[in-house]
Amino acid sequence: GAVVSQHPSWVICKSGTSVKIECRSLDFQATTMFWYRQFPKQSLMLMATSNEGSKATYEQGVEKDKFLINHASLTLSTLTVTSAHPEDSSFYICSVSSGRLLNEQFFGPGTRLTVL
């Protein structure tokens, strides 16, 4: 499967600040990446689909102006949480489609965001 990295692995920030999370596909070029959010003891919820060279597609209820996604290259997608608030504290995970079989997604190690 694909190898995916995320940076940082954890971040603590003050309320009102912005935080950028990077997702990198290390071993192949990913035209599509996905961003998920997972609250404690809950399942993964898809936030948005990140398409290289075009605007991201957001799921219903996810504010696109708050969660800015940039997929500027085939190996890098970034998620910026703008004006973060304590309720944005969560585990953010990205994934990539292998390209061979789109339904198989391979996940990064996740980023734990804590907003004070």
Partner 1 sequence: GQQLNQSPQSMFIQEGEDVSMNCTSSSIFNTWLWYKQEPGEGPVLLIALYKAGELTSNGRLTAQFGITRKDSFLNISASIPSDVGIYFCASSRNTDKLIFGTGTRLQVFP
**Which stretches of the chain bind partner 1, using CB under 8 A?**
1, 4, 6, 32, 34, 43-46, 49, 60, 93, 95, 97, 101-110, 112
Q: Which of 56, 57, 53, 81 is nearest to 67 (CA)?
A: 81
Rounded to a whole number of angstroms, the minimum distance from the CB of residue 16 to partner 1 is 26
Rounded to a whole number of angstroms, the minimum distance from the CB of residue 93 to partner 1 is 5
Give the whole-angstrom CA distance, residue 17 versus residue 65.
Answer: 14
Q: How many residues comprise the chain?
A: 116
Q: How far is CA 103 from the centre of its chain?
A: 17
16 vs 109, beta carbon nearer partner 1: 109
57 vs 82, beta carbon nearer partner 1: 57
Rounded to a whole number of angstroms, the minimum distance from the CB of residue 83 to partner 1 is 26
Give the whole-angstrom CA distance, residue 39 versus residue 16.
Answer: 20
6 vs 75, beta carbon nearer partner 1: 6
63 vs 104, beta carbon nearer partner 1: 104
Name residue 20's amino acid.
K
Q: What are the residues facing 97 on neighbouring strands?
A: 105
Asked if the bond preceding 86 is cis, omega within 30° of 0, the reply is no
Rounded to a whole number of angstroms, the minimum distance from the CB of residue 111 to partner 1 is 10
